[in-house]
Amino acid sequence: MNSDSDLQIAGDLFEVEHLLLPPREHPGTVAEFAGLARSIAADRDMWEHLVRYDAASRWYHRLRTGPGYEVWLLSWVPGQGSGPHGHGRSAGVLTVLAGELTERTEGTKRAEGAGRAERADRALAAGTQRVYPPGYAHEVVNASLEPAVSLHVYYPGLTEMPMRTFPAAGHGARADTAAAAEAGAQAPAGAVAPGAGQAVVPG
């Protein structure tokens, strides 16, 4: 591989700080959507007064829409999580505005010639940004002792959020069915399936 290739320069393909461009009025590339999220994050007067905390479920508010995309503001009290899920055909940018969140993904660990699914956790402090493609699956939780706030940009707008199962931490391929059940219990009132005329709960 050429030592100057984009892949080698990028390192972690979900970290895009070196690709950021000033936001356009109507973003159209990954870097522009990441730039849009950064500009909104920096403008606390735009979002801070809207934040609410709900002990019963994750709170969410659609902050902005544009041609083919939408921006959501979410709050998470300690212990709240999205449950393992995908985003259908939508790509996304997640930016932590305040507090700390944990992103859980399912990876494959090679052991004795066979692949074994394991859960990987990544701490996301305030200011951290993650970019993910269509088909990417993860779980986001507030495992800290303080509330957290995050910003989510979806392109195209989120129309489905299929739930998944991930292995429990340290248990190989055993499905974490408790997390999936908890995710269903935490779906806010009004969350409905696509096509019913309401937005899917973001996460």
Please tell me the predicted confidence (pLDDT) of residue 143: 97
- Whether 196 shows a pLDDT value over 50: the answer reads no
Question: For residue 60, with 0-12 CB atoms within 10 Å meaning exposed, 13-18 middle and 19 or more buried, which class applies?
Answer: buried
148 has which bridge partners?
76
- Whether 200 shows a pLDDT value over 90: the answer reads no
Q: Per residue in 119-166, pLDDT tens?
A: 789 999 999 999 999 989 999 999 999 999 999 999 999 888 778 877
Provide the mean pLDDT of the chain: 77
Q: What amino acid is encoded at 162 in this protein?
A: P
- Whether 63 shows a pLDDT value over 60: the answer reads yes
Average pLDDT over residues 8-15: 49
Residue 16 to residues 108, 124, 158, Cα–Cα distance (Å): 24, 15, 21
Please tell me the predicted confidence (pLDDT) of residue 69: 94
Residue 97 to residues 34, 120, 188, Cα–Cα distance (Å): 14, 22, 21
Q: What amino acid is encoded at 185 in this protein?
A: A
Nearest Cα to 80, choosing from 161, 122, 140?
Answer: 140
Please tell me the predicted confidence (pLDDT) of residue 162: 78
Residue 201 to residues 82, 161, 194, Cα–Cα distance (Å): 9, 8, 10
Q: Per residue in 73-107, pLDDT tens?
A: 999 999 999 999 999 999 999 999 999 999 998 86
The structure tokens listed for 67 are: 């041609």
Residue 115 to residues 103, 109, 110, 112, Cα–Cα distance (Å): 22, 6, 5, 8
